[in-house]
Amino acid sequence: MHAMFSPTREQLEVVEHRTGHALVRAVAGSGKSATLVERIAHLVESGSRLDQILVLMFNKSAADDFRSRLSRRLPDGAPEVFTFHSFGRRLARKLACDGALSHARLVSSASESRQFARQVLSEHFAEYGEEPEDLSNEALDEYLSAIDMLKGALYTGGPLPGWASDAARLLSSFKLFEARRRRAGLRFFADLIYDPVLQARQDELVRASLADDYGHVLVDEFQDINDAQMEMVRMVAGERASVMVVGDDDQTIYGWRGARPEFMLSLFEKQFPGVKSYNLTGTFRYGHALSLLANSCIANNTMRAEKLCVSRTAHSTRIRVRSTHPWARRSGRRGDPRMDCRGPPAQRDRHPCERVRQRSRRRDCHAPAWHPRAHRRRCIVC
């Protein structure tokens, strides 16, 4: 164990996890990056080869930061750290060299992406004898984002349940988009994952060629991944690798990109049987008052794993509650937290904090009934 790392009991359990798959649920500020670094160092010092360890991060800045930490901890050599997209690009190149996937140029310019989308939509609407209503940059960006979301879900064509009829009609151009892209020899950012994963899904020989190259696969920010990224992890792990994923289902904020809390709550355990679960519940980022407030707020989530955030730092965190209720703006009492519990003067006798708390059947809601749902606030006075 590195002298600069003094692990908690929970962190030590993760670091010294033996073999098999592991799911680590880590609250915000729980030191998960330091724990992951030490976990990798433990694997290397236990005899694992560097080229047998695959580390996947969600974005470039996180990967750069983690790579820097890892190089300081292992100055004599550290495993490579990839984002999902950079690793997908490596897989695409490997398949292209093997003749299983065509070579393609990566489109990195927003203007070129929009121009391509404009041509596709113009051709798509021309088939119906119509003119596209809106080909502004904003509309084209929304269209491209929707295409990326479909690729994140590994969509290949067909009905689009859950989409509005106008959107479904627009996105029925997906097959045309893909046909033109492949003819032009182009690859957009989402295609770095979509192309190799889809090819592996359709060809067992390709899948076999990409599997079982690693003994350990570690994934950070697992709550942010989508179906295509999940399939990539399954594909690369094969039957040989031990997979450890770290994330927080309470921080699943990329639903518009296909992320779902189900990946951490149930899907990972279904895809990787025999999972050992760990919790990192101690936060070093803020004081106990904010931990209590965070626990109270997040308890409203209906799809979450039960865990309690506890502060492991001695310093306190000052909390200031601001209300958006119209009465607060008129009275100028925006910084008074008691206002949220007591309400306007006419309501105070009717809804005192103690009585609301005793009568409420919802354990996680102490806000008075007169608050609009969109503007309810937790009471930190009581």
Q: What is the pLDDT of residues 156-165, one digit of tens each?
A: 988 887 777 7
What pLDDT sits at residue 369?
38
What pLDDT sits at residue 324?
67
d(CA 126, CA 174): 15
Provide, rounded to the nearest whole percent, the portion of the chain with pLDDT above 90.
Answer: 59
Q: Flag the least confident range among 87-101, 211-225, 331-345.
A: 331-345
What pLDDT sits at residue 65?
95
What pLDDT sits at residue 242?
96
Instruction: Output the CA–CA distances (angstroms, integers) from residue 287 to 131, 306, 307, 372, 382, in the order listed.
Output: 58, 21, 17, 29, 17
d(CA 35, CA 51): 20
Check whether 342 has a pLDDT greater than 60.
Answer: no
Check whether 344 has a pLDDT greater than 50.
Answer: no
pTM tops 0.85, yes or no: no
pLDDT in tens, 27-81: 999 999 999 999 999 999 999 999 999 999 999 999 999 999 999 999 999 999 9
Check whether 265 has a pLDDT greater than 70.
Answer: yes
d(CA 192, CA 197): 9
Cα 364–chain centre separation? 25
Check whether 371 has a pLDDT greater than 60.
Answer: no
Mean pLDDT, rounded, of the chain: 83
pLDDT in tens, 184-242: 999 999 999 999 999 999 999 999 999 999 999 999 999 999 999 999 999 999 999 99
Check whether 358 has a pLDDT greater than 60.
Answer: no
Strands 53-57 and 81-83: parallel
pLDDT-derived band at 376 (thresholds 50, 70, 90) equals very low
pLDDT-derived band at 377 (thresholds 50, 70, 90) equals very low
Check whether 285 has a pLDDT greater than 50.
Answer: yes
pLDDT in tens, 67-84: 999 999 999 999 999 999
Residue 69, helix vs strand vs coil: helix
Residue 107 burial by Cβ neighbours in a 10 Å radius (0-12, 13-18, 19+): middle
